Amino acid sequence: MADRRKLAAGNWKMNGTAAALSEVSALAGLRRGTTCEILLCPPTTLIERMARATEGTNIAVGGQDCHWAENGAHTGDVSAEMLKDAGATYVITGHSERRADHGESDEMVRRKTEAAWAAGLAVILCVGETLSEREASNTIDIIKGQLAGSVPDQATGHNLVVAYEPVWAIGTGKVPSTDQIGEVHDVIRVQLEKRFGPGVGRSVRLLYGGSVKPANAAEIFAVENVDGALVGGASLKAPDFDGIIKALDA
């Protein structure tokens, strides 16, 4: 992990208006000395304002999703180039809520990831199993399949971060055991090394996502091959996200 900079990424999902930008200012004040990379992914309506608010700080801004097309007749969608233009440096692709609520396939996630890279954005690509898949002991097969289908061939440690987020743990308060987290992260690492070689495979950062809180963060971050977290609700308030970053910094 020594050669992979730790990353604390906050996904605000469909939360936040202009008033919430005060939390960003508060977080910047709390985390001036951190060695971690900090990323916030607000709703699209806040990206440009958040990018301005974080100028001169150690907080980066990202989008939560993008379309694979550069432009066109796609009402309600946002292209990767638009995100870049608004001040984003990252985008999330393949989040389980997109896969489940919008029927996004591995192929769609791959195309979105390729579009993001073409626009100069780094990608946090999400993989994870449902509760029924976990209970049927299909987790590893699901993860391997999602990696194979979603990750494009041009992956590097600079343009790709992979987040393991078991669907059943997102927003539920349920968290896999550290053994379960470790097993999946080890599988992801091995699959990346097999496909891209040890250099790239070992340079891609792996995040855990799913009900990460200040109270459980240290235990999760102690697991091998966990390089940080993709945080939902706990990233909305500066003190909560700060507690997670402190655990990652330790």
Higher pLDDT, 123 or 31: 123
Mean pLDDT score, 70-75: 98
Which residues have a Cβ under 8 Å from the Cβ of 46 and sit 6 or more positions away? 12, 16, 17, 18, 20, 21
Which of these, 53, 51, 54, lies nearest to 63 by C-alpha position? 51
pLDDT band of residue 197 (cuts 50, 70, 90) is very high
Indicate the domain borders of the chain: 7-249
pLDDT band of residue 172 (cuts 50, 70, 90) is confident
What CA–CA distances, in Å, run from 157 to 59, 105, 192, 202, 246? Answer: 19, 24, 11, 8, 24
Q: Is the pTM of this model over 0.75?
A: yes
Which superfamily, per CATH, for 7-249? Aldolase class I (3.20.20.70)
165 is catalytic: yes
DSSP H or E stretch at residue 7: strand 7-11
67 is catalytic: no
Rounded to an integer, what distance in angstroms lies between the CA atom of residue 226 and that of residue 110? 23
Q: Which of 23, 37, 97, 165 is catalytic?
A: 165
Q: Which of 95, 104, 129, 185 is catalytic?
A: 95
Q: Are 63 and 100 in contact (CB under 8 A)?
A: no
Residues, the chain, total? 250
pLDDT at 1 over 60: no
Pairing of strands 90-93, 122-127: parallel
Chain-wide mean pLDDT for the chain? 96
Q: Are 211 and 171 in contact (CB under 8 A)?
A: yes
Encode pLDDT of 109-118 as tens digits.
Answer: 999 999 999 9
Encode pLDDT of 80-94 as tens digits.
Answer: 999 999 999 999 999
